Amino acid sequence: MLRVVIVDDEAPARRYMRRLLEAAPNVQVEGEAATIDQARRVIHEHRPDALFLDVLLTRDNGFNLLKGLDHTPAIVFVTAHSDFAAQAFEIEAVDYLLKPVSPARLAQALERLRPHSGGHLATRTKNGTKLIKTGDLTIIQAQGDYVLLCSATHGDELMHITLKRLAEQLPTPPFHPVSRSTIINLEHISQLSHLGGSQTEVSFNTGVAPIVLGRTASLRLRRAMA
């Protein structure tokens, strides 16, 4: 089930999007908001998989909503203005819909959102099949034909999949590849400590053990967090 929130300052536009979304299979509308403050509260309460977000809100801009969220959903912009498309994709929006949105065009956007739905991975590990909440994962590292999933909640698990294929199932952000072999959940980082030789020790707020990154991975991580 894909859990979504609608953010638009016009009530008729919210009603129209709700009707379209509720008519689509496996979609649940968790809430609506007309302002950025309302949207922050709804996102904090429901932690949705995706936002359907208008660009121009009354006295504000939808892009400003995305700064400092404690939960980062996938973003689909829904707007009457085509001028912001480049900016939208710079922040890795999943799609950019022009009003009025047709059911067929919405279906395309929902298909792109499917990897973000449910917030869980059905993982076939050496200990059997487990359902792991993606938000619980802190570090994901390539280990030959497996990936190592590091989570304080589930412990460490080896999953038989390539890192590239697994990355396609993870929301970005908060997950960010810092190297060809390591993906980190940016929301779980508590501290970056500079070590000698251009290395960085990354500490986490989940209880997962810190890791040390080399120069290139450190630069990628710091850019992602800037």
Summarised one tens digit per residue, pLDDT across range 11-45 is: 999 999 999 999 998 788 999 999 999 999 999 88
Q: Which stretches of the chain are assigned E, i.e. beta strand?
A: 2-7, 27-33, 50-53, 56-57, 60-61, 74-79, 95-98, 120-125, 128-133, 139-143, 146-151, 155-159, 175-177, 182-185, 189-195, 199-204, 211-213
Mean pLDDT, the chain, rounded, equals 87
**pLDDT for res 126:** 53
Full set of structural domains in the chain with CATH? 2-116 (3.40.50.2300), 120-225 (2.40.50.1020)
CB distance 160 to 124 below 8 Å: yes
**pLDDT for res 152:** 86
Q: Cα dist. 184→13, 61, 168, 178 in Å?
A: 37, 29, 14, 7
Summarised one tens digit per residue, pLDDT across range 104-163 is: 999 999 988 876 555 666 565 555 556 577 888 999 999 988 899 999 887 888 887 888
Helix, strand, or coil here: 165? helix
CB distance 49 to 116 below 8 Å: yes
Q: Is the pLDDT of residue 210 over 70?
A: yes
Cα 105–Cα 133–Cα 111 angle in degrees, nearest 5: 10
